[in-house]
């Protein structure tokens, strides 16, 4: 092949690559708002799913002797969740945040009271019958 033909073909390919790069840049700019909105959601969803997975394995691998102390710690954590949910609900502007905050407060409160009931019942099992 002639060196001039090779140079012309290389220049044509370079122009095609430049056109494709420009199209890719425009597509990336168009998709940037969607990616920016999805990024925090995906990060928080990943953290939530990992917390569920770790929590499941931690709770199911606890020996029976440690259930009462674990319930006490769970109640303490749930009380912190209630405080955080109340703050998040009170400081939010959107209706969806207020609804989710209310649900978080309600579910954490149920968890606290249920935990106290289970702890009380478990501790009653260790008391002597005459006491």
Give the global pTM. Answer: 0.46
> Tokens at residue 65, please?
């002797």
H helices of 61-129, in order, are: 67-91, 95-126
pLDDT digits (tens, 9 = 90+) for 32-90: 777 666 677 777 888 889 988 888 887 777 777 676 677 777 777 778 888 888 888 88
Q: For the chain, give the number of residues.
A: 131
Query: Is the pLDDT at 22 greater than 70, yes or no?
Result: yes
**How far apart are alpha carbons 68 and 65 in whole angstroms?**
7
**How far apart are alpha carbons 24 and 11 in whole angstroms?**
20
Query: Is the pLDDT at 97 greater than 80, yes or no?
Result: yes
Higher pLDDT, 127 or 50: 50
Integer angstrom CA distances of residue 9 from 14, 65, 70, 83: 9, 77, 72, 68
User: What are the structural domain ranges in the chain?
Assistant: 1-61, 64-130
């Amino acid at each position: 092949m002639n060196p001039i033909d090779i140079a012309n073909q290389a220049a044509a390919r370079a122009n095609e690559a430049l056109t494709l790069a420009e199209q890719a840049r425009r597509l990336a700019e168009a998709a940037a708002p969607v990616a920016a909105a999805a990024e925090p959601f995906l990060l928080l969803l990943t953290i939530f799913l990992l917390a569920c997975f770790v929590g499941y394995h931690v709770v199911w691998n606890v020996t029976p002797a440690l259930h009462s102390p674990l319930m006490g710690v769970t109640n303490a954590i749930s009380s912190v969740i209630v405080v955080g949910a109340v703050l998040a609900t009170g400081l939010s502007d959107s209706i969806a945040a207020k609804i989710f905050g209310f649900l978080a407060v309600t579910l954490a409160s149920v968890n606290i009271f249920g935990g106290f009931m289970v702890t009380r019942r478990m501790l009653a099992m260790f008391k002597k019958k005459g006491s």
